[in-house]
Amino acid sequence: MPLIGEDAPSFKAVTTAGEINFPRDYKGKWVILFSHPADFTPVCTTEFMTFASMENEFNALNCQLIGLSIDSIYAHIAWLRTIKEKIEYKGMKDVEVTFPVIADLKMEVAKKFGMLQVTASDTQAVRAVFVIDPKAKIRAILYYPLSTGRNIAEIKRLLMALQKADAEGVATPANWQPGDDVIIPPPGSCGVAKQRMEAAEEGKYCLDWFMCLRKERTE
């Protein structure tokens, strides 16, 4: 299984949107690669409908969604057609999944990413999520059991937090949402800590020497 900070494994795969070559085809983009146990399962169906309904929001963040399961391309197509034609859930109806879904019958991609958990199932990929940056580095990894659907809004929040940290050299506190105050990285020495406490900086406030934040909202 690849780790945070490592290069994401490269692969070629057949998908519902044609063949893809990763990471070559996604140079300069963020990618959320997520696996699901099987087509025509209810939890997966709710996840795919939610991902599809939010696809434009991810696209606006320069992020491509890519799904995967150990099923054939024909099963994928039949399932996605069923979702569009028959399933209505939480106000979502006539949902078309346009992002690529990898057909991984030989489990080649699933094995490269450690998506198979033998104690859960040796023939199904668990609900894994890999957030991959524009340099094809793995930045976050989430794993869910087969029974639990993912919070797609949280995955989007995680992506936005990573982008915020990269762009501004800050960290995001618990439950951070866009527009919330951010954390200024802690100092590396006592001298720097004292200077930072005393230095004037617009919007900055310190709770202690190791914990300074920057206001993002004007009340």
Determine the Cα–Cα distance for residues 186 and 200; give it in Å rounded to an integer.
16
Helix ranges (H only) for 38-186 are 42-53, 55-60, 73-86, 108-112, 152-168
When pLDDT is averaged across residues 102-130 and rounded to a whole number, the result is 83
Give CA separation, 16 vs 13, 77, 78, in Å: 10, 7, 11
User: What are the sequence ranges of the domains in the chain?
Assistant: 11-150, 169-219
Strand 127-132 and strand 182-184: the pairing is unpaired
β pairing state of 11-15 and 18-22: antiparallel
Assess if CATH 3.30.1020.10 describes domain 169-219: yes
**pLDDT reading at 193 higher than 80:** no
User: Does residue 18 have a pLDDT over 60?
Assistant: yes
- Place 135 in a pLDDT band, splitting at 50, 70 and 90: very high
List the catalytic residue out of 44, 63, 190, 212. Answer: 44
Query: How many whole angstroms separate alpha carbon 84 and alpha carbon 76?
Result: 12
Give CA 99 to chain center in angstroms: 14
User: Residue 192 carries which side chain, given as an amino acid letter?
Assistant: V
Report whether 127 belongs to an annotated binding site: yes
101-103 and 63-69 strand pairing: parallel
- pLDDT computed for residue 105 by the predictor: 92
Is 206 noted as a catalytic residue in this protein?
no
Place of tokens 């900070």: 5
pTM for the whole thing? 0.91
Average pLDDT over residues 79-108: 96
Reply yes or no: is the peptide bond before residue 178 cis, omega within 30 of 0: no
Q: Name the CATH superfamily housing domain 11-150.
A: Glutaredoxin (3.40.30.10)
Residues paired with 6 in a beta bridge: none
**pLDDT band at 165; cut points 50, 70, 90:** very high
d(CA 155, CA 204): 28
Q: What is the pLDDT of residue 142?
A: 97
